[in-house]
Chain A
């Protein structure tokens, strides 16, 4: 088997798994988004409740990500989705992103915004701040992607996925 045919095989594999995923997306979309948004709604009370209604493509919101290699990736998400939802739905390959699956138990979905976008994102809960405090490369405009819900006002926003650098606590290991 040549390299080309090996690659083709892998592509086939990818395609077949992709269709499985699409099916399960249809089945699970309600419960998953409800979960992701209930959390944020409880905290912030600003998310759209439209997630339960069919969405037309013109309602989608454009989101730009800058990945760890500095590349810009432009995708679309539904209003009410969290940024973590968007990363999962669009199969964006950010290693380790969202390890706790959006339950505010880790800081792996840490993203950084420009100041003007950051100001539009609304208040931050203590619990999110607590997790952000453990994030690699924390900045004043850092947030957790699982806590950001897409709204029309955020159309075209850019979120940067920071590169993992030395953990703040590596130098603070004493008990």
Chain B
């Protein structure tokens, strides 16, 4: 069953499921948010772009279509996360004769905003209000439970739509590539985050938290989210969106120390300052930083640009004050170390320690390289969480893919040698940045799509069936098999 999330559109041949109202009530928008939602609807509904002579011509040729149930220009977006919705928003707003269909593998929309953003960061999820308005727009539809590349191919989508935008993100994760990484007790941060956020795929993770020390590899914001969730007081977690399953598991957690390991030094740390400040201010915890890791850092401060400088100063402050802090739980960075091997318990069944290679830096600043010194160190730990980055995967052999950069090769969002095919979000840039980064990069792709529709670079003279062409394919291929996933989820 395709989950067809269009509240008003009950005449569709597809089953109509009201997913969106459930989500909205789940996030319980305050009156202020509701107002903003209405304003953004207003903003989308306004056709603020002045039509070029070319669009006017097309508009006249298909006059009336923009108000008919079937707008002429069909655009399809693959992936219903932030990139997909920001791209959809820009395109719907930019052209009055366009129908945008957003296809998503999960039954529910919003991707990593729902399943990636930490449960104690509800403010970040406010972006959902804008996405909801886009999804409820009369010329936008959300189609859940459709796996592009399996249920329908990209080629089929391209035949049915004038333009196809790939916004499916980075569902894979980079592996450490070291012996022992498949031992019990070793998790990917992606799965761990999915578990505490209620992602159906990670429901069965059941991490064993009966160990004193957890080592997280990687020092980005995801690593700090995981560290914070592992160490946060239970009373604090209870007030968040975290799943009951995760809350119950964390209530019995024995984890008292979390070490966050990175290949390079303090001045190359990948997290942002908000997440570091939350760590520093986390009640009941004290920092556990090594003075030798910060050798020469104070002297280098004045050379740094403001964001990096403030981030580094906050770390130095945490280092200086760590003796004065009270708390039975500790967190700390371990710099200039890379994983060599996860060491098993004597019976070989699960992780007991991690062997790290000590590094030194070659060069300085953002571009400094980590070079092994040859020394090694073993850190006993029952839990290893690898947080060294997400990774986009190819979804269809017909789409070009750069395996080294793990992105779809593109020029400003136009997929190489494929007119009418675009990409936005992490599959376009790689998996870095905050929500504003994805927003801007998605608007950029939206702008490029509109340019090509306006200029005639994408041929609009041919009528395309859009969803009418895809729906029969989906029904024939029995996506009903995965309706069960939706029942489990709800």
| Contacts from A to B (Cβ < 8 Å) | 1-3, 6, 9-10, 13-14, 17-18, 20-21, 24-25, 27-28, 31-32, 35-36, 88, 91, 93, 95-96, 98-108, 126-127, 129-131, 133-136, 138, 164, 167-175
Contact = CB atoms under 8 A, between A and B. Distances in A.
Contact of B32 (A1, A21, A31): A31
A71 to B, nearest CB: 12
A175 B443 CA distance: 26
Given A24-B35, A99-B126, A175-B218, A105 B121 contact: yes
B31 A174 contact: no
B277 interface: yes
B45 A14 contact: yes
Contacts of A129: 310
Contact of B126 (A1, A100, A107, A174): A100
B461 interface: no
Contacts of B389: 175
Interface in B424-453: 429-437, 439-440, 443-444
Given A96-B439, A136-B436, A173-B431, 8 more contacts: A10-B47, A21-B35, A25-B35, A91-B42, A99-B439, A126-B277, A138-B307, A167-B440
Contact of B219 (A18, A36, A175): A175
B388 A173 contact: no
Given A35-B30, A100-B126, A167-B437, A133 B311 contact: yes
Nearest to A7: B47
Given A130-B273, A136-B436, A167-B440, A28 B96 contact: no
A55 B196 CA distance: 47
B91 to A, nearest CB: 12
B302 interface: no
Given A105-B124, A175-B220, A164 B30 contact: no
Contacts of A35: 30, 32
Give the residue among A21, A31, A167, A175 with the most B Cβ atoms within 10 A: A175
Contact of A2 (B63, B264, B277, B387): B63
B123 A105 contact: yes
Interface string B108-142: 00000000000001011011011000000000000
Contacts of A6: 59, 63-64, 66-67, 96
Contact of B274 (A28, A131, A173): A131
B32 A36 contact: yes
B56 interface: yes
Contacts of B274: 127, 130-131
Contacts of A174: 264, 268, 270
B432 A170 contact: yes
Contacts of B36: 88, 98, 101
Contact of A17 (B30, B41, B262, B307): B41
For A27, A99, A134, the residue with the greatest tally of chain B CB atoms inside 10 Å of its CB is A99
A103 B219 CA distance: 25
A1 to B, nearest CB: 4
Contacts of B270: 172-175
B33 interface: yes
Contacts of B60: 2-3
Nearest to B138: A13
Contacts of B90: 95
A32 B454 CA distance: 39
B443 A95 contact: yes
Given A96-B440, A105-B126, A138-B306, A24 B48 contact: no
A21 B220 CA distance: 41
A13 B311 contact: no
A164 B33 contact: no
Given A14-B45, A88-B39, A95-B90, A3 B63 contact: yes
Contact of A100 (B34, B63, B123, B264): B123
Residue among A24, A28, A95, A169 facing the most chain B CB atoms (10 A cut-off):
A95
A144 to B, nearest CB: 12
B159 to A, nearest CB: 28
A95 B436 CA distance: 11
Interface string B253-286: 0000000001110001010111001000000000
Interface string B380-421: 000000011100000000000000000000000000000000
Contacts of B126: 99-101, 103, 105
Contacts of B34: 24, 28
B435 A106 contact: yes
A81 to B, nearest CB: 13
A96 B310 contact: no
B124 A170 contact: no
A31 B262 CA distance: 44
Nearest to B68: A1
A13 B35 contact: no
B59 A106 contact: no
B66 to A, nearest CB: 6
A158 to B, nearest CB: 22
Contacts of A108: 436, 439
B439 A91 contact: no
A17 B44 CA distance: 11
